[in-house]
Amino acid sequence: MKAIILAAGYATRLYPLTENQPKPLLEVNNISILNHILDKVHKIEGITDIYVVTNARFYDAFRTWHCNYPLADKITLINDGTTSNDDRLGAVGDIHYVVQDKDINDDLLVIAGDNLFGFELQHFINFSDKHNTSSVAFCDLKNVEKVRRKLGVGVLDGEKVIGFEEKPLEPSSALASTACYLFKKNDLPFIEQAMERGSADNSGDFVKFLVNNSQVHGFVFDEHWFDIGSFESLEEANTLYKNM
C-alpha cells in the first residue's frame, strides 16, 4: 500500500497566514498539521511508500521541514511544478501526477494535508479490506445544517455508498465527506478517466464518478474532524488539541 498526502494547495482563504507558509505546516498545539497526519499514517501496517505532494512555490519550505522530520527516510517529497492558485493541478490532478510519476499500481491511501481527525487509520484500512472496495471516510455531524451548502455528503445503503452530493441545498444525510480515501488498485484507472473528463480539481467529483462506475463503501466515524480552511477552524482545532 502507498500513501499520498495532498499538500499542493495555496490556501488563499487563510491569507496573510499562508501567504508565505503552506497550510499543512501550520501548527496545531505546537505540532504541524502534516505531522499530526503522518503520526497516524506511520501506525498503518503494510505502508511501503509515503508521498507528500506540494508545489514549486512552497517546495523549499517542505524541504526544510523534511530535513528536520525524524522519519524523513520514509517520506518522499514531490513537486508538482505549479506556482500559484491559477495553475494548480487540483486534488485529483495531483493524485494523478503522483500515480503517473511513481508508476503506482497498488492500493492507495489519500489524505488532504489540511485534515485533522480522531479515528485511527488502521481501522479505516481494515474496513476497506473487509469490503475489498475503495472507501471514503465520512464524519457523522448529526445535523444536516452543518453540511448544507458547505460540504460533500455521502448517501449510504448500509455501508455501501450509493450517492454523493457536493454542497447540497437539501442534504440527504449529515455524513460529511472528509478528504480521506482508500482507492483499491483496480480503481486507479478511473483517475485517468476522470482527468480526461476534466475533473481534476475537486476530489468530491471523483468520488461521485467512482460511485457511479465502481463499488465504494463508507467508513463512518463520530470522533473529531477538522478541515482547516478558515481562521475559525484553526482556532477550534488548537483549542481541542490543547485539551486532549
Looking at residue 66, which CATH number applies to its domain?
3.90.550.10
Q: Cα(25)–Cα(163) distance, rounded to whole angstroms?
A: 34
Across 69-87, average pLDDT: 93
Tens of pLDDT, residues 22-36: 999 999 999 999 999
Per-residue pLDDT at 171: 84
The answer to whether 111 touches 3, Cβ cutoff 8 Å, is yes
Tens of pLDDT, residues 156-203: 999 999 999 888 888 888 999 999 999 999 999 999 988 888 765 678
Tens of pLDDT, residues 205-217: 889 899 999 999 9
| Total domains present in the chain | 1
CA distances from 94 to 88, 202, 208 (A): 9, 11, 18
Domain containing 128 equals 2-242
Cell of 177: 465527506
